[in-house]
Amino acid sequence: MIDSHCHLADEAFAADLDAAIARAREAGVTGALCILAAGDEAEAARARGVQVKWPAVRFATGVHPHAAGTFAGRLTDAADATRSHAAAFAACAIGEFGLDYHYDFAPRDVQRQVFAGQLALARDLDRPVIIHTREAADDTFAILSEGGAVRGVFHCFTGDAAMARRALDLDFYLSFAGIVSFPKAESLREAARLVPADRLLIETDSPYLAPVPHRGKRNEPAYVPRVLEALAAARGEAPAALAERTSHNFVSLFGPS
Ligand SMILES: [Zn+2]
Ligand SMILES: [Zn+2]
């Protein structure tokens, strides 16, 4: 199986990257998409290490809504940073970017401007997009619907059935993380049941969001089988078939490596 969204170049993995990669491989994780923050040179240096230690890893880069404020008044710089980072890492997607009205680390108007700019860049580069959205569904769909078609995924999908339908109407993929294993996440499991099999992805979003039974600890790609099992249980499917299906979907969306 493939972890379609992790931050393996995060500082949280600096001390034990070799061991974390070994555990992932032992757990049957054959690949991962490592998300990078555009313009973060310290992270980029660590990403070179990830690339050497685990050649099956692929990369995506973008300006996260939390970081949008650093590009206030310099939208061209946000696009330039993403473009050059994407070239340096042969990025198969642009992202993650989007809107986060839960934390509001950047002013909302700046978040929207950066979001629109990253989308335009992805269209220009003809790359799929990785969308981060939290408590901002209406604005997210409004901006995604402007300016023509784009392919992509709602990563760490946490919406309900209605939001899943809106995402599917745009022909987007939905990626499920460890939250689908949380006891209180019944509306998320309900959403998971209505997604067609050819639109599903799985991810850890590590180092964040560890699934049950690792909840509260650092997450890592080796735990993606827990996400798979929880998603398979919610949908009443066999984990092995779902593993094969989601790996196939990963290649359909991001292209062959
Ligand atoms: Zn995110
Ligand atoms: Zn992420």
CA of 4 relative to ligand 1 center, distance in Å:
12
pLDDT at 147 over 90: no
pLDDT greater than 90 at residue 148 = no
pLDDT at position 168: 98
CA of 58 to the centre of ligand 2 (A): 14
Q: Decide: 98 and 122 in contact? Cβ < 8 Å.
A: no
The answer, yes or no, to whether residue 215 has pLDDT greater than 90, is: no
pTM flag (> 0.75): yes
6 CA distance to ligand 2 middle (Å): 6
C-alpha 10 – ligand 2 centre gap (Å): 10
| Closest ligand relative to 34 C-alpha | 2
Give distance in angstroms: CA of 106 to centre of ligand 1. 15
Closest ligand to C-alpha of residue 208 is 2
Which ligand gives the minimal distance to the CA of 132?
1
At 67-81, the pLDDT tens digits run 999 999 999 999 999
Ligand 2 centre and the CA of 119: distance in Å?
Answer: 17
Name the band, by pLDDT with cuts 50, 70 and 90, for residue 247.
Answer: very high
Q: Which residues contact 181 (CB under 8 A, 6 or more apart)?
A: 211, 212, 226, 227, 229, 230
Summarize pLDDT for 181-191 with one digit per residue, the tens: 999 999 999 99
DSSP state at residue 157 = -
Strand partners, 95: 130
Residue 65: nearest ligand to its CA?
1
Can you tell me the mean pLDDT for 224-248? 98
8 A C-beta contact, residue 172 and residue 153? yes
Closest Cα partner for 252 from 199, 205, 176? 199
**Ligand 1 midpoint to CA 95 (Å):** 9
pLDDT band at residue 216 using 50, 70 and 90 as cut-offs: confident
Side chain identity at 29, as an amino acid letter?
V
Average pLDDT of the chain is 96
**96 Cα–ligand 2 center, Å:** 6
Contacts of 87 (CB under 8 A, 6+ apart): none
Q: What is the pLDDT of residue 102?
A: 96
Ligand 2 center from residue 102 Cα (angstroms): 15
Ligand nearest to the CA of 9: 2
CA of 66 to the centre of ligand 2 (A): 11
Question: What does the pLDDT read at residue 213?
Answer: 86
Distances (CA, A) of 241 to 153, 174, 229: 21, 17, 11
pLDDT grade for 128, boundaries at 50, 70 and 90: very high
- By C-alpha distance, which of 41, 49, 40 is closest to 20? 49
Ligand 1 centroid to residue 59 C-alpha, Å: 15
What's the whole-number mean pLDDT along residues 232-241?
98
